[in-house]
Amino acid sequence: MLEFLKRLFNPEPSSVTARERLRLVLLSDHLALAPDVVESLKADLIAVMSKYVDVDIAHCDVTFEQQESVVAMLANIPILGMKAPARTPRPAAPPAVRQAQDDAPPPMSDPAPASAAVADVPEPEVTPAAVTSAPKPRRRRRRRASTKPAAAH
Amino acid sequence: MHELRQDPLPAAPPAEQRRGRCIVVTSGKGGVGKTTTTANVGVALAASGARVVLVDADVGLRNLDIVLGLEARVRHHVLDVLDGHAELDDALVSDKRVPSLKLLAASQTREKDDVDTAAFKAMVDTLRERFDYVLIDCPAGIEMGFQNAIVGADEAIIVCTPEVSAVRDADRVVGLLGERVKITLIVNRLRPALVKRGKMLSVDDVNAILRLPLLGVIADEPGVIVSTNRGEPIALDASSPTGEAYRKIAGRIVGTDTSTPEIPREPSFFGKLFGGQR
């Protein structure tokens, strides 16, 4: 009877929970055990971003965090300013760069140093006014990493 | 206990061709059944006619001798041989039940760091010239004892129970063994009734993560405990399904058995009633 009630309120068998927990913990383990992979991922991320913006390479921080149901990649890549527009030259002045204050951080723990220089970068098409009215200046880029079990041995 | 038919020993090949296979039985996590697995797989291999030596590399925590029921016959141990205090032949304990099986016991009063890695490998190489199979019972952990145990092996059997901790450790060990070692998996202590009710990881769950060739699956059943109590490896019990599972594992190692490993099923009601062992 107790068993039945338990099953009624918690329909997921514990083996499914075990499977899911293992999947996440092994993904974290594999990332932690492959520092060279993480380093080259970080270098590639910076390289891609550097095509569009000036990145403060010395203060870049890429970490992985195991959360409740997902392993997330947290990339804190401070942006110093826009790159000079090379491909689509515009007659207008270079896009304004606004120092963002950390007034609306994403609802999660913050391992990044508070002093890191962060700039909110407007899209090239967006006017500075539109940027100012943007609801949330994004301080950090957050991406969900793929949570497929990795076989990096 | 039924006696297994003893095949005559195969004629020894010429010395220059001889190089037995060295297989380390390892897991990372302790208490998953490495020693029981080493004992039973070794016994089953030897019963099929192969010349087998079991090496207990768990220096300081010697147990393979007692699981095999040979504890009273150990006179010298691994470190006696490595330190030159005993001849290899004097340290090898014979098993009367399976004449082609020998045991090299671990030292109980020494520590794992006392083992010289190069000397251990040289000893394993010597054993490989004289036996078809050198099975090494690896200590738990991934420290020096583990490193010594794997140094001479080019094959590994990972023993893993269907538990999150065991799977995680097994995954770590697989990474440490690297590409050089050919790895296979034995899932140990499976409880079919729990798997059926979703209360235990299944063999597929375990191997979806480890992704290793499956050598066999051993059920968690009283017979294994009883046989260990008595020092009579269950692989010698011709009437036991678990003994049969170990013999099939041996067949797969030798290459004579190409069947897919069977997943143990829940014993029937009558099996539970009458299958009891004491």
Is B181's Cβ below 8 Å from some Cβ in A?
Answer: no
Q: Does B208 contact A149 at a Cβ distance shorter than 8 Å?
A: yes
Edge-first strand order for the sheet with B21-26 is: B93-94, B101-104, B52-56, B133-137, B21-26, B155-160, B182-190, B214-219
- Above 70 in pLDDT, residue B252? yes
B201: chain A residues, CB-CB within 8 Å: 15, 18-19, 22
How many structural domains compose chain B?
1
Cβ–Cβ under 8 Å, residues A14 and B198 = yes
Q: Is the CA virtual torsion B147, B148, B154, B158 positive or negative?
A: negative
What pLDDT is recorded for position A123? Answer: 38
Q: Does A19 contact B201 at a Cβ distance shorter than 8 Å?
A: yes
CATH code, domain with B135: 3.40.50.300
What pLDDT is recorded for position A69? Answer: 79
Is A23's Cβ below 8 Å from some Cβ in B?
Answer: yes
What pLDDT is recorded for position A73? Answer: 87
Q: Does B198 contact A21 at a Cβ distance shorter than 8 Å?
A: no
Is residue B143 a part of any domain in this protein?
yes
pLDDT band at residue A37, thresholds of 50, 70 and 90?
confident
Shortest Cα distance from A55 to chain B (angstroms)? 35
Measured between CA atoms, the residue of chain B closest to residue A152 is: B175
pLDDT digits (tens, 9 = 90+) for B210-244: 999 999 999 999 999 999 999 999 999 999 999 99
Neighbours of A109 (CB within 10 A): 10
Is residue B41 a part of any domain in this protein?
yes
Is residue B2 a part of any domain in this protein?
no
What pTM was estimated for this model as a whole?
Answer: 0.75
- Above 50 in pLDDT, residue A144? no
ipTM: 0.79
Is residue B150 a part of any domain in this protein?
yes
Domain boundaries, position B62? 22-274
Is residue B11 a part of any domain in this protein?
no
Is residue B229 a part of any domain in this protein?
yes
A66: chain B residues, CB-CB within 8 Å: none
Q: Does B205 contact A15 at a Cβ distance shorter than 8 Å?
A: yes
Is residue B48 a part of any domain in this protein?
yes
More confident residue, B255 or A12: B255
Is residue B239 a part of any domain in this protein?
yes
A151: chain B residues, CB-CB within 8 Å: 211
